[in-house]
């Protein structure tokens, strides 16, 4: 496992054997966070959902649009 961190607050966890991302952790302020895997499944604090958006090309989507399908608290 390799862990990388960037100045935008995203920490990514990588599988060294495959070179693929396992998941990313996004931290906001002192208490807010969100975790997302490459398949789009996510978990996080309710407040963090306000700050996360998914982008596909020029379209932007809020986390709430995918909540029922991709939210995985486990």
State if pTM tops 0.85. Answer: no
Print the domain residue range for 43: 2-70
pLDDT of residue 18: 97
pLDDT digits (tens, 9 = 90+) for 1-51: 999 999 988 999 999 999 999 999 998 888 999 999 999 899 999 888 888
Which string of DSSP letters, residue by residue, matches 23-73?
EEEEEETTTEEEEE-TTS-EEE-TGGGGT-EEEETTEEEEGGGGHHHHB--
Q: How many structural domains comprise the chain? A: 1
């Amino acid at each position: 496992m390799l862990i990388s961190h960037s100045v935008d607050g995203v920490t990514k966890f990588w599988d060294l054997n495959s070179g693929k991302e396992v998941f990313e952790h996004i931290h906001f302020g002192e208490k807010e966070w969100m975790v997302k895997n490459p398949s789009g499944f996510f978990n996080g604090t309710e407040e963090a959902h306000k700050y996360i958006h998914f982008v596909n090309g020029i379209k932007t989507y809020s986390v709430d649009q995918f909540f029922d399908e991709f939210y995985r608290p486990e």
